Amino acid sequence: MAIAIMCSGGDSAGMNPAIKTFVERALVHDEKPYLIYDGLEGLIDNKISLASYQDVSNIVHRGGTILRSSRSKRFFEYKYRKIAYENLQTLGIDKLVVLGGDGSFRAMGQFYEDFRVNFVGVPSTIDNDIFGTDYCLGVDTALNVIRVSIDQIRDTASSFRRAFVIETMGRDCGYLALVSSVTSGAEVCIIPELKYDLKSLGNRLKSQIENGRIYALCIVSEGAKVTDKVAKWIEEDVGMQARVTILGHTQRGGNPTVYDRLMAFKFSRMAVDKLLSDDKSHEVIVFKDSKFEFVSIEYINSGKYQIEPELLTLADRMVQ
Ligand code: F6P
């Protein structure tokens, strides 16, 4: 029997080092490593091929994923999951490593219930919003991409006496905006997890402007859905010219950082070893309280990720 790897959902930096490690580790174990292209869509359409060292050379430093990814609607239907299962059976693949986010893990939980295909999920999303893990592959690179953008915006903001409202990704989760605000010394941080008070923020900013402040940075997560409202508030209430920058998909790109590469290596190696030593694996490998552990897919799919309360307190001065 053989082992395969695929990416599903939003791509994130670190996927390529994880794919490279997967192939190399499988070959060390004398296992046949297969690559599934185009995510769950490719699994249905049989875009699966046997990998060699050559397929994964020169990729460790590249962002995105050489396997490409997709968000599959068809996989929600049993008839397509059955086709996917039959494709795997034909090639003798009975173990999967899945790099993805919570949507992908729900899909894999269903796939396991249907056909008992063993898998290990590797939490991979820039949103860092998967229940049960403190870290998801790619978040460090995304945070560094955001940091560079904010540093660059600061150059022009300070040259022009302007406020910038910078919108980060993260879907419903404010993690990227929160960590970026704290580490960039922003003035305002608006995320779904925290109540904010524009009146008191406005008073504070006005008094700082009177005392010499010449620019301001407001980081707003896309999930808060108030980017334009915040820009209007700055212009009309605070009295500073404002510009909006939506960082968008730039945050999904970039060469993986050293940290994401190292974590990719560890996650992927442990995932392969687990699948080869346990023929009933349907788990996700998580990094919790600075330790790696395997947790059941049922557990991962049972809760909603919450940002650590201690981390949230770091934004105190940026919400009121
Ligand atoms: O989940 C990753 C993410 O980049 C989110 O932050 C964002 O809301 C979403 O994907 C964007 O999705 P798409 O790439 O399909 O537009």
Please report the sign of the dihedral spanned by the C-alpha atoms of residue 176, residue 181, residue 187, residue 192: positive
Is-catalytic flag, 30? no
pLDDT at 235: 98
pLDDT at 279: 87
Q: Is the C-beta atom of 129 inside 6 A of ligand 1?
A: no
Residues of the chain with pLDDT under 50: none
Q: Is the C-beta atom of 10 inside 6 A of ligand 1?
A: yes
175-184 helix and 139-160 helix, angle to the nearest 10 degrees: 50
Q: Which domains does the chain have, with CATH numbers?
A: 2-138+256-306 (3.40.50.450), 140-252 (3.40.50.460)
Amino acid at 78: Y
Pick the residue whose CA is nearest to atom 10 on ligand 1: 10
Q: Is the C-beta atom of 171 inside 6 A of ligand 1?
A: yes
Q: What are phi and psi of 121, to 5 degrees?
A: -90, 140
CA distance 227 to 225: 6
Query: What's the pLDDT tens digit per position in 252-308?
Result: 999 999 999 999 999 999 999 999 999 889 999 999 999 999 999 999 999 999 999
* Ligand 1 atom closest to 71 (CA): 15
pLDDT at 257: 98
* Ligand 1 atom closest to 176 (CA): 6
Pick the residue whose CA is nearest to atom 1 on ligand 1: 10
* pTM for the model: 0.97
Pick the residue whose CA is nearest to atom 13 on ligand 1: 10
Q: Which two tokens stand for residue 255?
A: 């060469």
pLDDT at 118: 97
Nearest to 7 by CA among 107, 116, 118, 141: 107
Q: Is the C-beta atom of 253 inside 6 A of ligand 1?
A: no
Which distant-in-sequence residues (6+ apart) come within 8 Å of 28 by Cβ? Answer: none
